[in-house]
Structure 1
Amino acid sequence: MSGVSTAFIDRCALFSEGVREILGNRGFDIVASASDFEDFIHRHRDFDRVSLIIICINDDNEVMERNIRSFREKFSDAKIVILSDNYNIRQVQLAFRLSVSGYLLKRINFVTLVKSLELVMLGESLFPADVLMEIGKEHGIDIQVEKEVIAYSPPPSNSGRGLSTREMQILKCLIQGDSNKVIARRLQIGEATVKVHIKAILRKIRVQNRTQAAIWAVNHLEPAPPVELNGIAHGAEAIAAAAS
């Protein structure tokens, strides 16, 4: 994942700077920061394009909703992720209904934060399971449960059925973080052949690099072992290994 134009919204300047350093070195380009939507407009009046908006919230649901709706109106195609100080079931429900892509806690470790944002940019949504189970029942939404985290997304336009057996083998190697040389040795094929297969894989599953391909494979080819995400288990361990 590279070059994701990101806006970061938080009232704490020190926290904002820390997140800027973490994400800026991992493919998320924070092009704008502000304390809320009004401050954003004041600082970045002519800014008209952003792919990801991270909004840090407190316990004020009205402010949260106003910020989400305002940013959604200005940047209709952007992904929105909420970072919260504390778990709040009403906020989670509100975020889900406002088509937010994820609700995470601020005490999340930076590796899992980055991988969660990468999943969001690939079209996944991350929410606590207990809330979304009830929402899914109410609205008849097909939500898949993985341990204690819900990852809900619309049916993908390309489910991977066009992948060959060899390409799926290579994807499983990418999950383990194998280099082209290691993959070639495992499968007893040439490195040049591996490169050709990887190019074909990226095209078929519509991602840009091998890290994104590994993330896609974790979510579509085989289950991943869980790790702790603020007391919530999430299959991100294999993803982290693939990007290291």
Structure 2
Amino acid sequence: MMTLPKGRVDSTRKKMISILLIDDQAAFRDGLQNLLNFYNSTGGENFQVVGRAASVEQALKLSKEQHPALVLLDLGLGQEDGIDFLTRYSDKQPQGKVLVLSGQRDDEWVFKAMQAGARGFVFKQSLSKQLSEAIQTVMNEQIYLTPELLTGFFRHFHFHAGRSLKVSSSLHLTDRELEVLACLVKGDSNAVISQRLHITVGTVKAYLRCIFEKMGVDSRTQAALKALKLGLV
């Protein structure tokens, strides 16, 4: 192992990401913290657990005290509902990021979590393979959903098609703007959107400006989250 000279700092070390763990099972919280520590020791990550909670109220208290950059949340908190935490946390700290970890393989759970403000969703069974990538994706202001989850997620949205049409009509979004918005929600870059829709990158940017103005948002992430909450895509 390479030893750094005294006084030197490892420049490959990534910026520290403070994390709050929320799960009602102490054994799972221990395992999750061990996994984060493993990533730190082997991959140049810099995850720091600043709090651990087993209930909604405890989690809200710790999040207010510690202001974590990221919350890892289990939706099943004993007799409590993680969606309750998500809703209350998103209202009080709209800039905070929440990544849901769940054993529930149900499209509706994913749908409800994203509506309530989650930035991503990972099945507990896939944590060891996906957690690091999911965290980095969310911290880079993108939404993390695997193709499997994304398929089920949009399948669930079909049941809200009527509401979607009504909302998009009230916002005066054109069909083309809805297509661009759908690509944005998938995490596509401007270049990828231009290729998918056969338009120039400049045209994509123009559409995005119109979309942001009509939706009353200032960023891609805000637009994507609002689109998910309103069922626009």
TM-score norm. by structure 2 comes to 0.55
Whether contact under 8 Å (2:86, 2:117) holds in the other structure is no
Structure 1 residue 152 corresponds to structure 2 residue 171: no
- Residue 15 of structure 2 aligns with an amino acid whose one-letter code is S
8 Å contact kept, 1:7–1:54 = yes
Indicate the residue corresponding to 1:13 in structure 2.
26
Q: How many pairs are equivalent?
A: 152
1:50 matched residue in structure 2: 68
1:31 and 2:65 matched: no
User: Of the candidates 58, 64, 67, which is equivalent to residue 82 of structure 2?
Assistant: 64
Q: 2:99 aligns with which of 76, 81, 90?
A: 81
Matched, 1:94 2:112: yes
Task: Rate the CA distance shift 1:11–1:123 in 2: closer, same or farther, 3 A.
Answer: same
Q: 1:132 to 1:96 in 2, by over 3 A?
A: same
Identical residues among aligned pairs (%): 16
SS in 2 for 1:11: coil
Aligned 8 A contact 1:50 1:75 in 2: no
1:28: how far off? 1.6
Structure (1/2) with the larger helix percentage:
2
Aligned partner of 1:110 among 100, 104, 128: 128
Q: 1:130 aligns with which of 145, 148, 151?
A: 151
In structure 2, the CA distance between the partners of 1:144 and 1:60, relative to structure 1 (3 Å rule), is farther
Q: Match of 1:47, SS?
A: helix
Q: Which whole-Å CA distance do the structure 2 matches of 1:153 and 1:62 have between them?
A: 31
Looking at structure 2, the residues matched to 5 and 67 of structure 1 have their Cα atoms a distance apart, in angstroms, of 18
Aligned-residue offset at 1:59: 8.9
Quick check: 1:133–1:143 contact (8 Å CA) kept in 2?
Answer: no
- Give CA deviations for 1:133-185 in whole Å, capped at 9, x if unaligned: 2438844463349xxxxx734867xx79xxxxxxxxxxxxxxxxxxxxxxxxx
Q: Secondary structure at the match of 2:81?
A: helix
Distance 1:122 1:29, change over 3 A: same
In structure 2, relative to structure 1, the CA distance for the partners of 1:61 and 1:120 (3 Å cut) is: farther
- The structure where strand makes up a greater share of residues is 1
Kindly indicate whether the alpha-carbon contact (under 8 Å) linking 1:37 and 1:71 is maintained by their aligned counterparts in 2: no
Change (3 A) 1:89 1:59: farther
**Does structure 1 retain, via aligned residues, the 8 Å contact 2:55–2:77?**
no
Residues 174-213 of structure 1 aligned to structure 2 (within 5 Å): none
Contact 1:54/1:81, CA 8 A, preserved across alignment: yes
C-alpha distance in structure 2 between counterparts of 1:144 and 1:61, whole Å: 37
How big is the shift at 1:71?
1.9
Contact 1:57–1:82 at 8 Å: present in 2 too?
yes
Residue in structure 1 matched with residue 195 of structure 2 by the alignment: none
Structure 1 position 78, deviation (Å): 1.1
Cα distance in 1, alignment partners of residues 188 and 52 from structure 2: 30
Q: Structure 1: give runs of 5+ residues left out of the alignment.
A: 146-150, 161-244
Alignment of 1:220-235 (within 5 A): none
5+ long unaligned stretches in structure 2: 1-13, 165-177, 193-233
